């Protein structure tokens, strides 16, 4: 595989839209007492972040998600301003999803998640014949965890395969996959063209620890497996083994939120340009390195 094919149409990203409450304590949490912290509230959600990063890299991208009705005006305007075409279904029974992110001094994160309206995603909320303009279907693993969204994305995958639209999967959460079991998750997802997993997710899904063994185990289900390994760089491979491996960029991490989403967008942008696999990995790494140097999961406007 020397080069990857360009994307013929709009990238349709499906998954969660969240409000991120980012908490940066000055030191360890003190049980039963106070700890000073810097607290910010920003827009988030892995799929939403991916869509915004893709638009940042000048890719045509649309986002399908469900939000609380109170956020309709503000979120629609925000996505449009960021260059994303929003297909946001409105939920009058529950609020938009919310995520509390605890960021330690090294930039590592822990999450408390309330998916809110994301859990009520409905296929009927999609535009009619949505596949006609779609060149790549990007799905979040979070959508496979709950029965409602899982039925939606599985139906979308069937339609995408019928139209020869490539499907890309981001597992989303190693913690959720451990809870439900890797076998169940892989069965729900089925075959797909691309898998973008971080090192922890690849370990859970494959049951092995070495990158080459993870590629071997996962490539029977995914045509191209890309593993984001943080400080250890990234690798990509298929049924023939590892195709490319690169080192990480040396940067000082302020907040790792959205680094994987930026990596995915950077990789796909390079892929759309017909870049070789090494160049796609380098582009993904460069985007991820930029992401860890800012607070939050999205690019800074004009940055």
Domain extent listing, the chain:
10-18+45-97+115-291
Q: What is the pLDDT of residue 195?
A: 98
Q: How far is CA 24 from CA 30, 56, 127, 283, in A?
A: 14, 26, 40, 29
CB atoms within 10 A of CB 221: 16
| Residue ranges with strand state E in the chain | 10-14, 18-25, 37-44, 61-68, 85-91, 97-103, 109-114, 134-140, 167-170, 192-198, 222-228, 234-238, 241-246
Q: What is the pLDDT of residue 203?
A: 98
Tokens of 118: 């994301």
Q: How far is CA 166 from CA 9, 11, 34, 105, 200, in A?
A: 11, 10, 50, 39, 25
CB 174 within 8 A of CB 145: no
Rg (C-alpha) for the chain, rounded Å, is 18
Q: How far is CA 78 from the centre of its chain?
A: 19
Backbone angles phi, psi at 71, to 5 degrees: -100, 5
**pTM score, whole prediction:** 0.94
Tokens of 152: 């939606």
Q: What is the CATH number of domain 10-18+45-97+115-291?
A: 3.40.1190.20
Q: What is the pLDDT of residue 302?
A: 47
Angle at 113 between CA 108 and CA 118, to 5 degrees: 130
Distance CA 148, CA 115 (A): 12
Task: Kindly state the average pLDDT of the residues 191-209.
Answer: 98
Q: What is the pLDDT of residue 13?
A: 98
228 forms bridges with which residues in the sheet?
A: 198, 234
SS (H, E, C) 190-230: CCEEEEEEEHHHHHHHHCCCCHHHHHHHHCCCEEEEEEECH
Task: Kindly state the average pLDDT of the residues 255-278.
Answer: 94
Tokens of 107: 């930039």
Residue with tokens 């971080």: 198
CB atoms within 10 A of CB 297: 30
Q: What is the dihedral of CA 139, 191, 173, 243, to 10 degrees?
A: -100
56-90 per-position pLDDT tens digit: 999 999 999 999 999 999 999 999 999 999 999 99
Q: How confident is the model at residue 138 (pLDDT cuts 50, 70, 90)?
A: very high
Q: Which of 75, 68, 77, 61 is nearest to 13 (CA)?
A: 61
Helices (H) and strands (E) in the chain, counts: 10, 13
What burial letters (b/e) apply to 251-281, b meaning 16+ CB within 10 Å?
eebebbbbbbbbbbbbbbbbbbeebbbebbb
Task: Kindly state the average pLDDT of the residues 202-230.
Answer: 97
Distance CA 136, CA 43 (A): 24
pLDDT at 12 over 60: yes
Q: In 3-state terms, what secondary structure has residue 92? A: coil
160-185 per-position pLDDT tens digit: 999 999 999 999 989 999 999 999 99
Q: How confident is the model at residue 3 (pLDDT cuts 50, 70, 90)?
A: low
């Amino acid at each position: 595989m020397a080069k990857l094919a360009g994307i013929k149409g709009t990238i349709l990203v499906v998954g969660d839209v969240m409000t991120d409450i980012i908490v940066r304590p000055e030191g360890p949490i003190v049980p039963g007492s106070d700890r000073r912290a810097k607290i910010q509230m920003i827009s988030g959600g892995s799929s939403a972040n991916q869509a915004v990063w893709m638009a940042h890299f000048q890719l045509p991208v649309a986002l399908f998600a469900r939000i609380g009705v109170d956020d309709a005006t503000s979120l629609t305007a925000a996505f449009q301003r960021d260059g994303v075409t929003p297909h946001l279904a409105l939920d009058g029974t529950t609020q938009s999803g919310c995520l509390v992110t605890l960021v330690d001094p090294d930039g590592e994160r822990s999450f408390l998640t309330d998916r809110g309206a994301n859990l009520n995603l409905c296929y009927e909320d999609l535009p009619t014949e949505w596949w006609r303009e779609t060149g790549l279907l990007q799905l979040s693993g979070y959508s496979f965890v709950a029965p409602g969204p899982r039925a939606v994305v599985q139906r979308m995958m069937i339609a995408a395969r019928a139209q020869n639209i490539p499907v890309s999967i981001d597992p989303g959460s190693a913690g959720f996959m451990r809870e439900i079991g890797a076998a169940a998750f892989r069965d729900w997802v089925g075959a797909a063209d691309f898998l973008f997993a971080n090192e922890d997710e690849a370990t859970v899904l494959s049951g092995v620890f070495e990158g080459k063994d993870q590629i071997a185990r996962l490539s029977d289900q995914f045509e191209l497996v890309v593993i984001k390994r943080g400080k250890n760089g990234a690798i990509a491979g298929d049924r023939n083994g590892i195709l490319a491996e690169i080192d990480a960029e040396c940067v000082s991490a302020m907040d790792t939120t959205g680094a994987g989403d930026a990596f995915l967008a950077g990789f796909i942008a390079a892929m759309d340009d017909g870049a070789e696999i090494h160049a796609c990995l380098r582009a993904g790494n460069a985007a991820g390195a930029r992401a860890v140097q800012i607070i939050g999961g999205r690019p800074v406007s004009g940055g």
